[in-house]
Amino acid sequence: MIERLRPLLAQWTLLAPVLAAVLLILTWGRDLPGVVVALATLILACAVLAAVHHAEVVALRVGEPFGSLVLAVAVTVIEVALIVTLMADGGGKSATLARDTVFAAVMITCNGVVGLSLLVASLRHGTAIFNSEGTGAALSTVATLATLSLVLPTFTTTKPGPEFTSVQLTFAAVSSLILYGLFVATQTVRHRDYFLPITRQGDPITAEVHADPPSTRTALMSLGLLTLALVGVVGLAKGVSPTIESGVDAAGLPHAVVGVIIALMVLLPETIAAVRAARRDRVQTSLNLALGSAMASIGLTIPAVALASLWLSGPLVLGLGNTHMVLLALTVVVGALTIVPGRATPLQGGVHLVLLAAYLELAINP
């Protein structure tokens, strides 16, 4: 019996996305008992690891920075679908869902993923080396998108409350798409070398020397399984979210904590992929994943919720409060100081992780 199971266990990266999709179909739209929630959480974790594996296969085939872009966009597109779905089902509590989820994604990626990657790389290799030109361009785009979409609504006066008018929301949505499109063109066409991992001497690494790229067929299969795994991850996260909401309410925590927990689960594949790249001294790949995910989260979510607001009832609150604006400003300043030298020590990684810890603490105790 064990001998028969070994081939199946060896192919867990193929089975996990399928199991996640099957469980998602069987549980969609239903109230889940505790046993099913536990099973869904287990399969969700397996699907996350499978997603990371298949993302690395695709990245190895298409090369950097396309590989990081594939994972970042794939996760974000499905995350946007999750946000819109939850907004449609959430009633009054959904007014701040897009803001909370997007800001959580920005803080987790710009502080958590960046900090963890820098810490792992610098502890393992002495210093973390990356291209400051490409990373700086990414950070400036993230800062602009976050300010236009999440800060300005707090200060506009045409509409009461931290909300945009229809015209202002349209401007923010169009601006987000334009900036994201310009960045992708810069990253993949005109200045692709700015986003390639570099050697200790500062030369771009154009190809991995330790592994042969997979065949086109294998890469396409991994791309399909990556998509299936991410659908399963986000869908199962939505399925267990009522249990999370009940636990958060029972603990007397703010409702925004739900968005933080869901964002942590959804961004887990990118976090693992970024840390793996940092261990291989490919810090630029880690930063491409982190900042690209933050950028895609804003650049795709804001246009999507702007479109969804045409048929969704209720207000759409996008403006951040004072505490979160301070954290965002500090994140941008610290990020700029980290990026300018093009290298980092464990200190920079620790500073970013402390900023993430401060955000999580203030989310629990505002």
Average pLDDT over residues 240-260: 77
Average pLDDT over residues 243-262: 77
**Is residue 344 domain-resident?**
yes
Most distant CA atoms of the chain, gap in Å: 70
* 8 A C-beta contact, residue 109 and residue 293: yes
DSSP 8-state secondary structure symbol assigned to residue 53: H
Residue 158: exposed, middle, or buried by beta-carbon count in 10 A (0-12, 13-18, 19+)? exposed
Q: Write down the pLDDT at residue 65.
A: 65
**Is residue 203 domain-resident?**
yes
State in Å, rounded, how far the first CA of the chain is from the last one.
Answer: 54
Average pLDDT over residues 135-156: 93
**Is residue 222 domain-resident?**
yes
**pLDDT per position as a tens digit, 58-107:** 877 776 667 667 767 777 776 777 677 667 666 556 778 788 888 998 99
Range of the domain at 253: 14-364
**pLDDT per position as a tens digit, 345-359:** 999 999 999 999 999
Average pLDDT over residues 297-323: 83
Residue 109 pLDDT class (50, 70, 90 cuts): very high
**Is residue 52 domain-resident?**
yes
Residue 335 token pair: 């990020």
**Is residue 3 domain-resident?**
no
Q: Write down the pLDDT at residue 209.
A: 45
Average pLDDT over residues 4-24: 71
Question: What CATH number should be reported for the domain holding residue 243?
Answer: 1.20.1420.30
Asked if pLDDT for residue 302 goes beyond 70, the answer is yes
**Is residue 147 domain-resident?**
yes
Looking at the 3D structure of the chain, how many domains does it have?
1
Q: Write down the pLDDT at residue 353.
A: 96
When mean pLDDT is compared over 1-5, 33-37, 213-217, 278-282, the highest value belongs to: 278-282
**Is residue 2 domain-resident?**
no
* 8 A C-beta contact, residue 104 and residue 335: no
Average pLDDT over residues 306-319: 80
Task: Say how far apart CA 30 and CA 180 lie, in whole Å.
Answer: 36
Task: Say how far apart CA 98 and CA 105 lie, in whole Å.
Answer: 11
Task: Say how far apart CA 122 and CA 348 lie, in whole Å.
Answer: 10
- CB within 8 Å of 135: residues ≥ 6 apart: 284, 287, 291, 339
Q: Can you give the pTM of this predicted structure?
A: 0.80
Q: Write down the pLDDT at residue 68.
A: 66
Residue 44 pLDDT class (50, 70, 90 cuts): confident
Q: Write down the pLDDT at residue 187.
A: 84
Q: Write down the pLDDT at residue 211.
A: 52
Which contacts of 54-59 are long-range, i.e. CB under 8 A and separated by 24 or more positions?
A: 54/13, 54/17, 54/222, 54/223, 54/225, 54/226, 54/229, 55/222, 55/226, 55/269, 55/273, 56/273, 56/276, 57/214, 57/218, 57/219, 57/222, 58/219, 58/222, 58/223, 58/226, 59/285
Give the H/E segment covering residue 129. strand 128-129
Average pLDDT over residues 178-200: 83
Q: How many CB atoms lie within 10 A of CB 345?
A: 16
154 or 42, higher pLDDT: 154
* 8 A C-beta contact, residue 98 and residue 254: no
